[in-house]
Amino acid sequence: MASLPDRCRPRSGRRACWSGSTLGAVRLPWIPWSEVERRARTVPGGPVTRSGGADELTVRGLVTDSRRVVPGSLFACVRGATSDGHRHVPAAAAAGAAALLVDRPVDSRLPQLCVPTVRAQLGPLGALLAGDPARALRLVGVTGSNGKTTTSALVRGVLEAGGDCTGVVGTLGAQVAGTSWGTALTTPEAPELHELLAAMVESGAQRAVVEASSIALDVGRMDGLAFQVSVFTGFEEDHLDHHGTLEQYWASKARLFEAGRTGAGVVVTDDLWGRRLADQAVVPVTRVGSGADADVRVLGWRTGAAGTEVLLADDTGGHRVSSPLVGRVHVTNLAAAWATGRVLGVPPDRIAAGLAAVAPPLGRNTVLGGRGRPVVVVDYAHTPGALAAAVDTARDLTGSGGRVHLVLGARGRRDRHKRQGLGESARAADRVWLTNEGSHGEDPAAIRAELRVGLLGSTAPVRTVPDRRQAITAAVGAAGPADVVLVVGRGHETRLLDTTDPRDAVHLDDAEVAATALATLHADDEDLHGRAC
């Protein structure tokens, strides 16, 4: 990452734990109960009824988990798929909640604000109770089935190179000015998201980049935010366990480009979905891709272990962009970040400097080994399209006559629809090692069987090694010095869960396992060399 702009206020490079009600790094304001009611009435959908609580009552922080209530909190009783926050009112009251946000009256002495849908209020009220931090920030939103995390990091690099202290919120957590916070979701629940933005404002940020997942857009976590620019990185089938149909999934993504939510769009148009979005969006759109109608056009590229170079053309002429990111999948990510910088007025030389300074995000084509040992690539690829691109990248990195060894699994209780597609994409590898990716209570053998359906007809040998650590180690051990071992699906994740109880999760970092396996190879080579001498 480029050096921090002078306006950023670093916090000693620390990493903070997310508390869910207060960051510790930001002081939340006390908000009058009457102001809460007033903001709630601005949300369309039906009547708002207040019971109890004088106008001078104040609340501090909006909380959706009763275990994270602190004295003074407004507790929002959210109905979920498996739980109902209304049932946890006694626990919230015991922890010191000052008032309740409900969609039906509950038996409690606490003041209550009854609304048609609690979830619809989380964005507007989360913003209010965090001090409306988004009003002090110029925001960029990034959505797409793949590439959100990398593109968000690249856009942040561009904006900081342009002189603006910039925060980022996404799959890898939240970062600003040397401080980072872990987050459980790609896009946190609205109250937590607004508190993170408040921390960024306190750190001196002028801008923030926010990854927008389709689920977050669907359930309203992005409500209360207005973006200068929204970026679309591409689209393919995913998350149908939540959305139900591909069209509903598409519609959720497209919400980020509605008038009133964003001022402009940057859209990768190399597929049908991107062209559809660019055509139907009512906000100004900058098209990015290799087509003749692209506003930022990819003229050529090359990639290797040292990074990626892209030749772009826009209304100012041709530009050569260099990046340490590895893989052809990053070509359009780099082009989209370039286009975003241009839309926001960053000079071309500053954009190029920012892109060149962004280190590869954790678990996104992380490259290990080489120099006489196999190359290992650890990547988050967990959709058929992303896997196909990852195999292509691995193929680019092989030496003469080298083979691609693929370590493949699929997460349990999520998107069964895409498992066969993952198997189909895996056919492009030279050898496949089927393994576990965290079954979450589902039968691991049944998951692997569904992957095998997609592999039918492949000429690649397929070996089943259920233990993921052993599978990675075996693949590295079987690979030659010209080969590439591609480990996909988990990327940056370090916790693997095979039951439905999160407390059963075990530590497993794919990159750590691969590094250990490579070190063992190196030690064996040294031992053999010593004996030969």
What does 416-439 look like in DSSP terms, one character per residue? GGGHHHHHHHHTTSSEEEE--S--
Q: Residue 399's pLDDT is what? A: 94
From 23-37, 277-291, 362-376, the region with the lowest mean pLDDT: 23-37
Backbone angles phi, psi at 264, to 5 degrees: -160, 165
**Tens of pLDDT along 248-300?**
887 888 889 999 999 999 999 998 989 999 999 999 999 999 999 999 999 99
Q: Is the pLDDT of residue 34 over 70?
A: yes
Average pLDDT, integer, range 508-512: 96
Positive or negative: CA dihedral 159, 164, 165, 166: negative
Please report which confidence band the pLDDT of residue 401 belongs to, taking 50, 70 and 90 as the band edges.
Answer: very high
Mean of the per-residue pLDDT values of the chain = 90
Q: Residue 10's pLDDT is what? A: 60
From 100-104, 174-178, 343-347, the region with the lowest mean pLDDT: 174-178
Average pLDDT, integer, range 499-513: 94
**Tens of pLDDT along 168-212?**
999 899 999 889 898 877 788 999 999 999 999 999 999 999 999
Packing angle of the helix pair 148-161, 330-343 (nearest 10 deg): 40
Q: Residue 122's pLDDT is what? A: 95
Which strands, in side-by-side order, build the sheet including 462-464?
366-369, 375-379, 484-488, 404-408, 431-434, 462-464
Whether 195 and 38 have beta carbons less than 8 Å apart is answered as: no
pTM of the shown model = 0.89
Query: Which of 4 and 79 is assigned the larger pLDDT?
Result: 79
Q: Is the pLDDT of residue 524 over 60?
A: no
Strands (DSSP E) contained in 305-403 are: 307-314, 317-323, 366-369, 375-379
Q: Residue 506's pLDDT is what? A: 95
Token code pair at residue 333: 């990510």
Q: Is the pLDDT of residue 530 over 50?
A: no
Closest among 457, 410, 419 to 438, alpha carbons compared:
410
Q: Residue 460's pLDDT is what? A: 93
Rounded CA gap, 256 and 161, in Å?
A: 26
Q: Cα torsion for 487, 496, 19, 366, to the nearest 10°?
A: -10
Q: Which residues pair with 463 in a beta bridge?
A: 433
Average pLDDT, integer, range 421-441: 96
Say if residue 249 is exposed, middle or buried (CB neighbours under 10 Å; 0-12, 13-18, 19+): buried
Q: How many DSSP H helices and E strands does the chain contain?
A: 16, 27
Rounded CA gap, 275 and 18, in Å?
A: 38
Whether 303 and 124 have beta carbons less than 8 Å apart is answered as: no
Closest among 408, 379, 382 to 492, alpha carbons compared:
379
Please report which confidence band the pLDDT of residue 20 belongs to, taking 50, 70 and 90 as the band edges.
Answer: very low
Please report which confidence band the pLDDT of residue 225 belongs to, taking 50, 70 and 90 as the band edges.
Answer: very high
**Structural domains of the chain in order of their starting residue, each with its CATH number:** 31-125 (3.40.1390.10), 133-357 (3.40.1190.10), 366-526 (3.90.190.20)
**Tens of pLDDT along 229-238?**
999 998 876 5
Percent of residues, the chain, with pLDDT higher than 70:
92
Q: Which residues pair with 309 in a beta bridge?
A: 302, 322
Please report which confidence band the pLDDT of residue 3 belongs to, taking 50, 70 and 90 as the band edges.
Answer: low
Numbered residues of the known binding site: 66, 186-187, 213, 221
**Tens of pLDDT along 69-82?**
999 999 999 998 77
Q: Residue 82's pLDDT is what? A: 79
Q: Residue 528's pLDDT is what? A: 40
**Tens of pLDDT along 124-155?**
999 999 999 999 999 999 998 888 999 999 99
Token code pair at residue 156: 């942040």
Q: Cα torsion for 220, 19, 379, 251, to the nearest 10°?
A: 0
- Cite the DSSP H helix spans in 75-147: 89-94, 118-129
Instruction: Please state the separation of Cα 125 from the chain's center in Å.
Output: 24
**Tens of pLDDT along 436-486?**
999 999 999 999 999 999 999 899 999 999 999 999 999 999 999 999 999
Q: Which residues contact 301 (CB under 8 A, 6 or more apart)?
A: 308, 309, 310, 311, 328, 331
